[in-house]
Each structure stands twice: as structure tokens, then as C-alpha cells.
């Protein structure tokens, strides 16, 4: 048995506490050795339908042949150099991202959090180089999630992530989600920018309306502050458009953070900006060792090309439509279990009457993997190329899970 197989089997059976892993996660007692499409195969021989997709990261499912090929081909050529050199593979992906969006320039990172860091720094620098260094405040919203670095947890609207980490950083404000009157009132002479997820992910799949997106753009433009969209989870096809804000016409941000499905499971993130929004990001102001290395770019480019096609985006809309209809049917049949269906595209939230963690475990008993979320939701974040048959299977497994929850409540 290779060493990693031994490690995986200990992780699930005799050593569930993972003695040498820092205990920051409540992990399910389940480990996988292999994946293919929307299927995951566990170390103990189980087969699961994966509607988590690495938290919206494996947008093309597991072991997609195009991504495997890109990884292997680039892996034989060149993995890493340094950003002190020109990296043509970065220019390829940056050209594609800019051609498909509002953006003029891209900074590549290894994660969503780092894309957020770049966005926040760019927003403050923008005002600093314009002679307004007092403009440092970043306005965010309740229930938002922007990552786990100091800046990201301070920007996020979840006090739990700040507990015990010393004083809050100055310059971060949170408002009720989507409250644009409060936003107008809060923008002032020290505001640098506004950060928001067009569809909240971790916060429970709450989506801004198209009208709200447009109004956000108008308010920030008129106030001369930057609009930052965190599309780390909602982007790269998740809602049926390449980016979720595209559902609203005229809602292009100044800066946008992308990650998760951008690398299809390989760590790739990006901070996109207009020339204007990136005006302060001059040589020496920012950097990354790994960010945008040739290996990451090769996989990212392959993932981008596979996701940014009418066929794939249409599939998201079709499957999302099916889910919305079926899940609302479940809500009607199980009003004691399912309280609300929300989200956009294949970023679906199901708000539950009973504990969402227990529901996830019961779904696992049906060999269905779903994610948790704020506001007592579970989230469905399946691969974007999920088939209708797989979606039908997921709904059937959710229905079974609802039956079990109801039976337990009656017992
Ligand atoms: C996951 C996520 C992040 C953080 O990304 P990491 O890759 O975990 O650093 C930031 N914002 C949103 C909306 C996310 O879903």
C-alpha cells in the first residue's frame, strides 16, 4: 500500500482525530481516493454524488480529461519561474479574462483570499495616489465571506471569524446585506470602496437582485469610490453567466476577485481591474512568489476555455432551472423540513427547519455530498457540467433525506 493510501485509511478509521493536523476544521469522517466527473470514491469503497465540488471549485468535476492533459503537458515543460521574469502563460489567461469582462489588467494569486488582499490594497492605493490617503474605509455587508487573512476577516461580515485575534483593523464597516439606503448614508470622505458578493456563498446563497447590482454601481460611481465584486464563488460560470454580475446590465465593477473554479481544483486566483482601478498598483506595491506560475496558468487557461462556452453556460441554466423547480416542489411537500430555496444558478441554498449539519450527515448516508452555509442553509454547488440524470439522482437523494428528517422528528 503506498504511503498516502495508508495515511488516508488511518484518517478515516483508526485515527479520526488527525493528531498532527491543526484542528481548525470539523471534518466529516470520510476520505476520498479518486474522483471522476461528479462522482467521488471513498477510501472505504463508497461512491458519492458530489454536489460540493470542493466548494464550487471543481467546476468541471473531478479528473476532467482536458485539465488532466493540461497539467501533464505543462508539468513536463515548466512549473515555476518567478514574477521577476515575463511569464507568457499569464498573458494568455489575462488576455482571455480581459476580453471576456470589464477588466483591463489582472494580478494572479494562489487563492481567493489573496485576490481579496490585492483588491483591498488596490482600492486604498487608488485614493492614496490621487492625493486622498484618508480614504481607507472598505464598506462590506453582513453575512459576507471574503477569506481568512487579517484583511479578509475584517472585511467579512461575520464576527465569529474575528474572535480572539486581537483588535479589529481600522477601516472596515459592515452594513445589512443589500441595504442600499444604509450604503448611501455610510459613504463619506474616508470611504475607499465597497466590497460585495453578487451572490453570497458561505452566507447562505443570498443573491442581490439585478436592480440592486445596477444601483450599487450608480451609488459608488457617483460617490467616486471603487466597487469591488467578490466573485470568488459566484464567478466562472456558477450562475449561468461567466460572472454573476453580468445578469445585470451596466453593473460592471472597478475591481473583481476570482478564484475557486478558475483553476478547476488547481490553486489559482485573480484580481481583475480596470486601468483606473489598478492605477495605484505600481512596481513594488504588491507581489507573489507562486501567483501565476506557468503550471497554474496552463491549468487555469484550460479550465477557462472549457467553462467559457455557450454549451456549458447553457447547461448551468438548464440544470439550475430543473433544481429550482424540483426543490420548490420539495419545499411544498416538506414544509416542516425545507423553509426556503434561494441562490442563483448552481449556487443553490436550501434553508432548513432542522440543523443543517445533521442534514448534511443524513444526505451523506444517501451517498449525496452537499455543503453547509450560513442562516442554517445547505448549499448545492455541483460541477457545472452535471447531467440531468445526475441532477435527478441528487433530487431523489434529497427527497429521501427529507423523509428521514421527518421520520426522526416524529419519533
Ligand atoms: C472561498 C471564498 C473566498 C476565499 O477564497 P480562498 O481560496 O479560500 O482563499 C473569498 N470570497 C468568497 C466569496 C469565497 O467563496
d(CA 41, CA 46): 6
pLDDT tens for each residue of 195-214: 999 999 999 999 999 999 99
Residue 383 Cβ contacting ligand 1 at under 6 Å: no
**From the CB of 232, is ligand 1 less than 6 Å away?**
yes
Give me the count of residues in the chain: 411
> What spacing in Å lies between the alpha carbon of 44 and ligand 1's midpoint?
30
The proportion of the chain whose per-residue pLDDT surpasses 70, expressed as a percent, equals 96
pLDDT value for 17: 62
Look at residues 207, 196, 179 and name the one whose alpha carbon lies nearest to residue 138. 196
| Mean pLDDT (whole number) for 332-352 | 98
E strands, 2-46, where?
32-36, 39-42
Give pLDDT, residue 16.
55
- Minimum mean pLDDT range among 18-22, 240-244, 371-375: 18-22
Indicate which atom in ligand 1 lies nearest the CA of residue 147.
4
Average pLDDT over residues 302-327: 98
Mutating to test ligand 1, I would choose from 58, 143, 201 the residue with most ligand atoms within 8 A of its C-beta, which is: 201
With a 6 Å cutoff on the Cβ, whether 146 touches ligand 1 is yes
pLDDT at 80 over 80: yes
Q: CA-CA distance, 277 to 194, in Å (whole number)?
A: 13
The minimum-distance atom of ligand 1 relative to the CA of 259 is 7
What is the pLDDT at residue 159? Answer: 87
Q: What is the DSSP string of 100-152?
A: HSS-SEEEEESSHHHHHHHHHHHHHHHHHHTT-TT--EEEEETT----SSHHH
Query: Which tens digits make up the pLDDT trace of 19-28?
Result: 899 999 999 9
Compute the average pLDDT of residues 376-391: 98
Does any ligand 1 atom lie closer than 6 A to the CB of residue 246?
no
Model confidence at 111, in pLDDT bands (50, 70, 90)?
Answer: very high
The pLDDT tens digits for 186-197 are 999 999 999 999
For ligand 1, the distance from its centroid to the CA atom of residue 22, given in whole angstroms, is 20
pLDDT at 10 over 60: no
**Ligand 1 midpoint to CA 52 (Å):** 14
The 3-state secondary structure of 265-293 reads CECCEEEEECCCCCCCCCCCCCCCCCCCC
The span from the CA of 234 to the CA of 20, in Å, is 33
Q: What is the largest CA-CA distance in the chain?
A: 67
Is pLDDT of 310 > 90? yes
Q: Is the CB of 58 under 6 A from ligand 1?
A: no
pTM over 0.85? The answer is yes
In tens, the pLDDT along 128-185 reads 999 999 999 999 999 999 999 999 999 998 888 999 999 999 999 999 999 999 999 9
pLDDT at 11 over 90: no
Mean pLDDT across the stretch 110-136?
98
Residue 220 has pLDDT above 70, yes or no: yes
Please work out whether the CB of residue 113 comes within 6 Å of at least one atom of ligand 1.
yes
Which ligand 1 atom is nearest residue 231's CA? 13
Å from CA of 229 to ligand 1 middle: 12
Residue-averaged pLDDT of the chain: 95
How confident is the model at residue 5, as a pLDDT? 42
pLDDT of 116 over the 80 cut: yes
Cβ of 111 less than 6 Å from ligand 1: yes
C-alpha 36 chain-centroid distance:
21
87, pLDDT greater than 50: yes
Q: Confidence band (pLDDT; 50, 70, 90) for 323? A: very high
pLDDT at 18: 78
Q: Is the CB of 233 under 6 A from ligand 1?
A: yes
What is the tens place of the pLDDT at every residue in 28-40? 999 999 999 999 9
Instruction: Outline where 24-111 has alpha helix (H).
Output: 53-56, 65-77, 88-100
Q: Is 143 in the pocket of ligand 1 (CB under 6 A)?
A: no
Query: Is the Cβ–Cβ distance between 272 and 93 less than 8 Å?
Result: no
pLDDT at 283 over 80: yes
CA distances from 106 to 148, 167, 327, 397 (A): 22, 32, 38, 41
Give, using CA atoms, the residue closest to atom 10 of ligand 1.
146
Whether 97 is in the pocket of ligand 1, judged by its Cβ within 6 Å, is no
Confidence (pLDDT) at 79: 98
Q: Assess whether the C-beta atom of 229 lies below 6 angstroms from ligand 1.
A: no
Amino acid at each position: 500500500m503506498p504511503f498516502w493510501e495508508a495515511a488516508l485509511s488511518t484518517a478515516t478509521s483508526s485515527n479520526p482525530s488527525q493528531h498532527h493536523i491543526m484542528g481548525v476544521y470539523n471534518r466529516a469522517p470520510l476520505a476520498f481516493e479518486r474522483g471522476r466527473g461528479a462522482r467521488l470514491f471513498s477510501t472505504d469503497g463508497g461512491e458519492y454524488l458530489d454536489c460540493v465540488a470542493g466548494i464550487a471549485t471543481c467546476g468541471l468535476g473531478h479528473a476532467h480529461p482536458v485539465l488532466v492533459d493540461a497539467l501533464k503537458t505543462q508539468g513536463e515543460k515548466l512549473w515555476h519561474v518567478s514574477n521577476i521574469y515575463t511569464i507568457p502563460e499569464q498573458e494568455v489567461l489575462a488576455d482571455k479574462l480581459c476580453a471576456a469582462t470589464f477588466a483591463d489588467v489582472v494580478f494572479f494569486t494562489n487563492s481567493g483570499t489573496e485576490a481579496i488582499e490585492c483588491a483591498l490594497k488596490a482600492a486604498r492605493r487608488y485614493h492614496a495616489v490621487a492625493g486622498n490617503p484618508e480614504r481607507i474605509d472598505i464598506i462590506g455587508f453582513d453575512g459576507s465571506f471574503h477569506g481568512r487573512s487579517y484583511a479578509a476577516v475584517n472585511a467579512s461580515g461575520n464576527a465569529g471569524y474575528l474572535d480572539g485575534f486581537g483588535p479589529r483593523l481600522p477601516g472596515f464597516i459592515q452594513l445589512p446585506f443589500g441595504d442600499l439606503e444604509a450604503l448611501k448614508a455610510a459613504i463619506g470622505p474616508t470611504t475607499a470602496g465597497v466590497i460585495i458578493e453578487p451572490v453570497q456563498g458561505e452566507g447562505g446563497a443570498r443573491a442581490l437582485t439585478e436592480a440592486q447590482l445596477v444601483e450599487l454601481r450608480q451609488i459608488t460611481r457617483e460617490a467616486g469610490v471603487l466597487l469591488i465584486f467578490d466573485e470568488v464563488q459566484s464567478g466562472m460560470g456558477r450562475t449561468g453567466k461567466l460572472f454573476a454580475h453580468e445578469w445585470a446590465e451596466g453593473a460592471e465593477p472597478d475591481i473583481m476577485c476570482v478564484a475557486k473554479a478558475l483553476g478547476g481544483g488547481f490553486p489559482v486566483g485573480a484580481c481583475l481591474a480596470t486601468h483606473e482601478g489598478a492605477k495605484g498598483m505600481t512596481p513594488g506595491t504588491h507581489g507573489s512568489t507562486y501567483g501565476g506560475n506557468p503550471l497554474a496558468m496552463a491549468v487555469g487557461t484550460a479550465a477557462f476555455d472549457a467553462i467559457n462556452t455557450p454549451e456549458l453556460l447553457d447547461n448551468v441554466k438548464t440544470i439550475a432551472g430543473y433544481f429550482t423547480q424540483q426543490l420548490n416542489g420539495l419545499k411544498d411537500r416538506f414544509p416542516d423540513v425545507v423553509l426556503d430555496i434561494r441562490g442563483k444558478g448552481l449556487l443553490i441554498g436550501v434553508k432548513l427547519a432542522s440543523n443543517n449539519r445533521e442534514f448534511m450527515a443524513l444526505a451523506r448516508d444517501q451517498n449525496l455530498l452537499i455543503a453547509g452555509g450560513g442562516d442554517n442553509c445547505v448549499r448545492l454547488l455541483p460541477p457545472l457540467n452535471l447531467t440531468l440524470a445526475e441532477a435527478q439522482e441528487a433530487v431523489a437523494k434529497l427527497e429521501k433525506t427529507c423523509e428521514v428528517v421527518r421520520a426522526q422528528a416524529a419519533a
